[in-house]
Amino acid sequence: MALARPTPVDASHELYVPDMDCADCARKVEAALSRVEGVSEVSVSFATRRLRLRLDESLVSLADVERRLAYLGYPPRGQAGPTAGAASAAQPSTDAGRDEQAPDPWHRTSKGRYVIATGALLALSALLSLAFPPLGRWGFAAATLLGVAPLARKAWTSARLGEPFTISTLVSLAALGAVGIGEAAEGAVVVFLFAVGELLEGVAAGRARAGIRALAALAPKTALLLLDGAGTREVPVEALRPGDLVRVLPGSRVPADGTVVAGTAGVDESPVTGESVPAAKGPGDRVFAGSIATDAALSVRVDAPAGESTVARIAHLVAEAEASKAPVARFIDRFSRVYTPAAMLVAALVAVAPPLLLGAAWETWVYRALALLLIACPCALVLSVPAAVTSGISAGARRGLLVKGGAVLEAIGGVRTVAFDKTGTLTEGRPRVTDVVALAGTEDEVLRLAAAVETGSSHPLAKAIVARAAGLDVPPAQDARSVAGRAVTAEVEGRRCAVASPRHAAELAPLPGAVEERIAALEREGKTVVVLLQDAAPLGLIALRDEPRPDAAAAVSRLARLGVRSVMLTGDNARTGEAVALQLGLEARSELLPEGKLAAVEELRRRGRVAMVGDGINDAPAMARADVAVAMGGATDLALETAGAVVLRGEATGVSDLVELSRATMRNVRQNVAFALGLKAVFLVTTLLGVTGLWPAVLSDTGATVLVTANALRLLRFEPGRRPRGA
């Protein structure tokens, strides 16, 4: 009888790998683990030194993976724990800041110690060659062999794990070859310069980690919990639970996302949204963890635990953004995998072809071949994209522009059309009732019945009607139902009432001509009109107006200057849509139900890439179909989890800022690739001509690494509306 096979155990794991702090390290780890049976969905981030993977534990255990990592030279230090099945990895880990501690000084890192050791060996060999010239050659040979030993060990390990064409292999062959042909001094210089280049890559990643640590440190560590009496007690923010009341003193930071219940103060939200002007906050207003009460005390009701605050989510998403590689990054990865073995083949041909075919000197052409091996090092090339993308995403986060990955960052710069939802995106999202027209009964009766139907709805128009009815005797409603984009119905005082769009009301029963004329007149004024119905009979009209955002026209104008077309998609009536569109200077498509917006996005995509900008809830189908989904303001849980980008400060100009940031980042990527390949091309020619040798060859990569790193860090100074110098 056949034995039953064990049930596979599918689990996700996250490991912290402190020595995986460069682009090539991450690529090496990803490639080695992807070949292991039972390991899937390998995702690495050298910026945060985190490794995620999924294991079929009937085939391979986590301990096996950890041993393989240690054997490869990247021992993990701790893990966040398994998540069975496909659990939501998008949730920020409660210990996400654990490995974002203050970094060690460079001389205490493994790469720093390697630079010091190889530098000391090189210096001692140089002194020995000056004091005892006959022994100098042996001193440089010893320095080279001792310095290259760790690299050779890594190269051998990588080869055994299926990665023979690594940077360690190239440098080891070049250094050992230099000793073999009597150029030990240059071999020692090569090892030292390579160590310096690797250290510089670690510095670049450290700058990215510093930005993530700064985000994580925005929220305070303690909070003043309001007791049942009048007193307060200082507690750790981790102890706060939804519903707790906290006191925020003037000049103090808000400890958790919440809602103001008492007090009015200016709140500086620039650490979270990038908005430099403090916003006035009073009862009912939301506040972010990390924002600062500037001039008065506030009492705030906690809405989310500290680990789930907006700033914690931002820090987590920025930290993990590198895992979503831009298409250009995937291309560079594929190219470098072909480029390195091809360059090794060319170097081998250079070493043997001229001596065998032309009778040239073996020593000369072997030397030049060794130099070509160093030129083949793809460090700078591999670093060119992630360094720029990480800097671009960090620069956006500092300005309230949350971009979830390199793929989104690359895509948004190439959009041809931006489709805006109207309410809450191009308009303030705070409509107010301007007119109440009673067709039967009194205006107060129309208001109280409409408010009864709309009570409990989160739609901005519903909130405005309920607010206008404050002070009236609003009856309770039963059996409330919503027909998306058409009406809300409920049983009120024994009557079936509905608050409907004029179009839906006319579908139920023809409206009298005078009523249609009054609706048209209100709509020509840019107002949105709803009809209160009892069964199919109109009882009254309510007109509301939502004013455009002050910056909406500027956003449309800036997008036009960038060559991007703006289109407004709204479920509102055509007259109101046209009135708003005329004021802002864009095209309007009105009276669209959710499926209509979806069809409009599909039609726009036939002309090029489309970004859909909405609130992340009502426009979900259209946002899902667009090439890029951008959520505006509020930073709701759904927006943070589903949209590709979020404009936290809620300004329409944030969309044009995103386009500019994307284009600046992609310019930076192109410059970095040009630096990396350009220097190699120059040194390739000079090496084959015999002008340069081994140590200048290694500078072709180390020098390019310096340029790529410095150029990528320029993005941290990105300012919307100003083209970076040299870009």
**Which sequence positions are flagged as catalytic?**
421
The residue type at 560: A
Residue 37, both tokens: 């049976």
The residue type at 586: L
Q: Of the candidates 163, 181, 212, 243, which has an alpha carbon nearest to the alpha carbon of residue 318?
A: 212
Q: Which residues are bridge partners to 299 per DSSP?
A: 247, 262
Where is 388: in which H helix or E strand?
helix 379-398
DSSP 82-96: -EETT--TTSPPTTT
Q: How far apart are the first and last CA of the chain?
A: 71
Q: Cβ distance 493 to 474 under 8 Å?
A: no
For 151-268, strand residue ranges (E) read: 222-226, 232-236, 245-248, 258-262, 265-268
Work out whether strand 628-632 and strand 610-614 pair parallel, antiparallel, or are unpaired.
Answer: parallel
Where is 453: in which H helix or E strand?
helix 443-454
Residue 578, both tokens: 């046209």
Work out whether strand 286-287 and strand 258-262 pair parallel, antiparallel, or are unpaired.
Answer: antiparallel
Q: Cβ distance 63 to 15 under 8 Å?
A: no
Q: Cβ distance 700 to 374 under 8 Å?
A: yes
Where is 11: in which H helix or E strand?
strand 10-16
Distance CA 417, CA 397 (A): 24
Q: Find the DSSP H helices in 585-713.
A: 594-605, 620-625, 637-642, 653-688, 694-713
SS3 content of the chain, % helix, strand, coil (to 5): 50, 20, 30
For 422-574, strand residue ranges (E) read: 432-438, 477-483, 487-492, 495-500, 528-534, 537-545, 565-569
The overall longest dimension of the chain from CA atoms, in Å, is: 113
Residue 427, both tokens: 């308009």
Where is 204: in which H helix or E strand?
helix 184-216
Distance CA 199, CA 653 (A): 39
DSSP state of 422: I
Q: Cβ distance 630 to 658 under 8 Å?
A: yes
Residue 596, both tokens: 């209509």
Distance CA 312, CA 237 (A): 12
Q: Compute the chain's Rg from CA coordinates.
A: 32
Distance CA 290, CA 309 (A): 9
Residue 4, both tokens: 């039953």
Q: Is the dihedral of CA 547, 553, 559, 560 positive or negative?
A: positive
Helix (H/G/I), strand (E/B), else coil: 557? helix
Q: Of the candidates 386, 476, 286, which has an alpha carbon nearest to the alpha carbon of residue 44?
A: 386
Q: Nearest 5 degrees, angle CA 443-CA 448-CA 452?
A: 150
Residue 49, both tokens: 């030194």
Q: Which residue has the tokens 């705030």?
A: 300
Where is 311: in which H helix or E strand?
helix 310-320
Distance CA 258, CA 245 (A): 9
Distance CA 3, CA 512 (A): 79
Q: How far is CA 364 from CA 178, 192, 350, 681, in A?
A: 11, 23, 10, 20
Residue 666, both tokens: 């992609």
